[in-house]
Structure 1
Amino acid sequence: MLSLYLSKRFRQSKQKIGFVSLLSKASTLGVMLGVAVLIIALSVINGFEQQLEERLLSVVPQVSYQAPYDPIDDWQVKVSLLNQHPRIVAAAPEINLTAMVQFKGQLKAAQLKGVQPSIHTEVSSVSRYIQGGNLDELAPGSLILGNRIAERLNLNIGDKVSLLVANKHAKQPLAAPKRMSTTLIGVVNMGGPIDESIALVNLADLQSALGLKPNQTTGLRAKVQDVFDAHQIAMTAGSRLPDLVYVNSWFRTQGSLYQDIQMVRTIVFLVVFLIIAVASFNIVSSMVMEVKEKQANIAILKTMGAKDRTIFATFAMQGVGYALIGALFGTVIGVLLAINLPDLFNAIFSQSGSNPLAGVYFVEFLPSKLVWSDILITLGVTFILAVLASVYPAWQATKTEPASVLGNS
């Protein structure tokens, strides 16, 4: 308690020389800015990871099985086999093709998917982003397109659209593509690259175009309990299938994006950690000068019977106090900005009319998600650095010799 009282008195002392006061304030300010920046940066990275899982990975196949040669027979039985796996939430048939969307002489490539509307909602949340219609209305002859495909071709709901589909199962290797006549009933508006590629039709349309039977498909897809363990689940569940299939997971198509997020997280943490470290070790210089300034006070305390551990604790608490004050204010600022960051981003770029995220990432807004464990780790690291930075000046304070100091005063 005495050490805490003395530390408080020294910190409130009006006798500090200006340079010492400036150094201590700069150290506190540096810690504050470092903690705030780290909390904001980690919140943004957490937000991107959350949106990756909740938006992109809820629409793209988490696990898929594609037939390389012959189609998959009795897809209902195969879906049932996949559903029996304890870590698979749901499974559904799907036909994936690259097709050309044609409207009034204009062509646009698209990733065409033939889906069974009644069960596709169990493996994909694309229905949440469909405007103008819904997935349940995707009857034979209907089409749902990505919003940017529709904009590029100047399409409106109700327009007649042609699809040119290559039939890889045709007996003639150079067979003419199949032409499918469809009616646009809705558009997918996710605000990302999927809007430029996705096209959905009823499974029966593609079965007819490819000459498949109603119980045949070229692929299966599954939704899993843990998307970050999708590859392992895909391999174990795929062993239940008797067909020859290619086993894929979202790591093959979107894995680089996830790895980029994790790499940015590591880089940001290391860089900002070094900023906090530099700010924390500025405490060393300010505390050394403060010990020099307070030598007379230390000498008087020693002559009054103060022990070395009391002197050590006094200056150690003072150094840690500078860092903790900065960390406290930095945490408050970082949390407030992280919570309001999406609104601030929208307010800034809605007025300027330009969005740096548009068409680049899978979201067109700046997501943010506070994870309290990140805040606790940040505060813990800051505290440890502050303690380490305060040890040497506090130890130097205990080496003050009262006779030499008071004798020269």
Structure 2
Amino acid sequence: MLLSAFLSRRFRAQSGAKEAQNGFVTFIAKASTIGILLGVAVLIVALSVINGFEQQLVHRLLSVVPQVEYVAPSRPIEQWPAKVENLQKQAGVTGAAPFISVNGMAQYKSGLKAVEIRGVSPELEKNVSSINQFIQGKLISQMSTEEVILGSQIVDQLSLQQGDSVTLLIPQVNQTSNDILAPKRVTLTLAGIVKMGGPIDSSAAFIHLEKAQSLLGYNEQHVTGLRLKVNDVFYAHQIALRVGQTIPDYVYISSWFRTQGSLYQDIQMVRTIVYIVVFLIIAVASFNIVSSLVMEVREKQSNIAILKTMGAKDSTILATFVMQGLTQAFVGVVLGSLIGILLALNISSLFTWLSQLAGANPLEGVYFIEFLPSKLVWQDIIVTVIVTFALAVLATIYPAWQATRVDPAKVLGN
């Protein structure tokens, strides 16, 4: 192996010296190194961004949107305090809280905006939601019965400011004749603003649970739904089905997989596509290693013949050219990993700077975040390096084997 390493280094030195005369082989070798470098760097950055989106999905979006909900379709759920206490004792459940949800309109002066009015318990909501982290002004736990907390896009559209009086319109339907009645109107003070990014900012309107009960004519024991927080969000649906059997009321069972599952599936699909596409790029770069080594073997036939006449074994010749190809891959992997890690660690700041420079943020109002997240996972780097080296080894086997088939008599005779 030491002899093979020495010969490989000498062959590279000879190729460098002859580059001015025959630079095509060197160009192919450099192209394969650059291809591997770019492939490794792009894969590390892309996977880091995908991991960042998945992390933000779990720790940001899924900490606010309902992980599990039990919604009464017709009659309200009765005796909710006892049922919340029972749900909190179930395995896999870390928190439970009641809510009342109804669609309505927010009105300020001549402006109208459709909202989802959600009556929540200030004391229990913190057990199932981290929405307080994204509220400017009064938190839900500090909200009174005469106050409302709205999403930032609703506030902007209606030109509201904290402390303004906003009117909520709640539609009513005659339960007997199904006729639409005049909506109920209630005027509340804007106490807080939700600024999270994404759809919640454009639809959320939080009011006190007692206020929602009085508006809908419920007593203090009635709610329209129960909400859970679970210890593992990826098993939320299984927990929802199991725990739902303990609720005696007729309810619809819903988990975040129904409301946000498509987003999670999109993230996983993009991860798979990135793996396939980038590894194909690396495979093409590895094919360039085959081309460069085949030409290298043809160029070094006389050297190989002399080495064989001096007693060099086929295994030595094979290892020499395998090392030639692995050296190209090693340089590409090391430089690509360094560049990829550097970009992955700074991609969020770079994206913010470019957005400010362009004067527009392509993520704003589209996704649940307004920045480009990044999470560097070392396992991804290790897998990338191993697969790249495996492809490089496969690429060097055929040219190196061809080198062992050189016939000294024919080469030296010519």
TM over 0.5, yes or no? yes
Q: Report the counterpart of residue 134 of structure 2 in structure 1.
A: 129
1:66 CA displacement: 0.0
Indicate which of 347, 353, 369 corresponds to 2:359. Answer: 353
Check whether the contact 2:118–2:207 (CA below 8 A) recurs between aligned residues.
Answer: yes
Shift of 1:168: 5.9
Q: Secondary structure at the match of 1:100?
A: strand
Q: 1:75 aligns with which of 75, 80, 86?
A: 80
The counterpart of 1:184, out of the listed 165, 183, 190, is 190
Deviations 1:163-206 (A, max 9, x none): 11134685563333221221100100012221111110000011
Aligned counterpart in structure 2 of residue 394 of structure 1, from 396, 400, 404: 400
User: Is residue 108 of structure 1 aligned with residue 113 of structure 2?
Assistant: yes
Kept after mapping to 1: 8 A contact 2:126/2:141:
no
Q: Which amino acid aligns with 2:5?
A: L
Which residue is equivalent to 1:8? 9
Whether the 8 Å CA contact 1:327–1:379 is kept in 2: the answer is yes
Listed as ranges, the matches of 1:344-383 within 5 Å are 344-383=350-389
Secondary structure of the structure 1 residue equivalent to 2:124: helix
Aligned counterpart, 1:26? 31
Deviations 1:56-112 (A, max 9, x none): 111110000000111111111111121112211101001111110011122100111
Question: Cα 1:385–1:168, aligned 2, differ >3 Å: closer, same or farther?
Answer: farther
Distance change in 2, residues 1:390/1:31 (3 Å): same
Find the counterpart in structure 1 of residue 205 from structure 2: 199
- CA drift of 1:226 comes to 1.1
Provide the secondary structure at the position in 2 that maps to 1:403: helix
Of 209, 216, 220, which aligns to 1:210?
A: 216
Tell me how far 1:300 sits from its aligned partner. 1.2
For each residue in 1:131-179, what CA deviation from the matched residue of structure 2 results, as whole angstroms up to 9, or x when unmatched?
A: 0222222110110000010110011111111111134685563333221
| Structure 2 unpaired stretches of 5+ | none
Per the TM alignment, residue 12 of structure 1 is displaced from its structure 2 partner at its CA by 2.5
Distance in 1 of aligned mates of 2:246 and 2:175: 29
The two structures have a TM-score, normalised by structure 2, of 0.96
Q: For residue 227 of structure 2, give the secondary structure of its aligned residue in structure 1.
A: strand
Match of residue 274 from structure 2: 268
- In the comparison of the two structures, how many residue pairs are matched? 408
The one-letter code of the counterpart of 1:103 is Y
Matched letter for residue 60 of structure 1: V
Give unmatched runs, 5+ long, in structure 1: none
The reply on whether 1:148 has 2:153 as its aligned counterpart is: yes
CA contact (8 A) 1:169 1:210 kept: no
Aligned to 2:332: 326
Residue 118 of structure 1, CA deviation? 1.0
Where do 1:239-254 residues align within 5 Å?
A: 239-254=245-260
Q: TM-score, normalised by structure 1?
A: 0.97
Q: Calculate the aligned-residue CA RMSD, in Å.
A: 1.3
Q: Distance in 2 between matches of 1:358 and 1:92?
A: 31
Query: Runs in 1 of length 4+ with deviation above 3 angstroms?
Result: 167-172
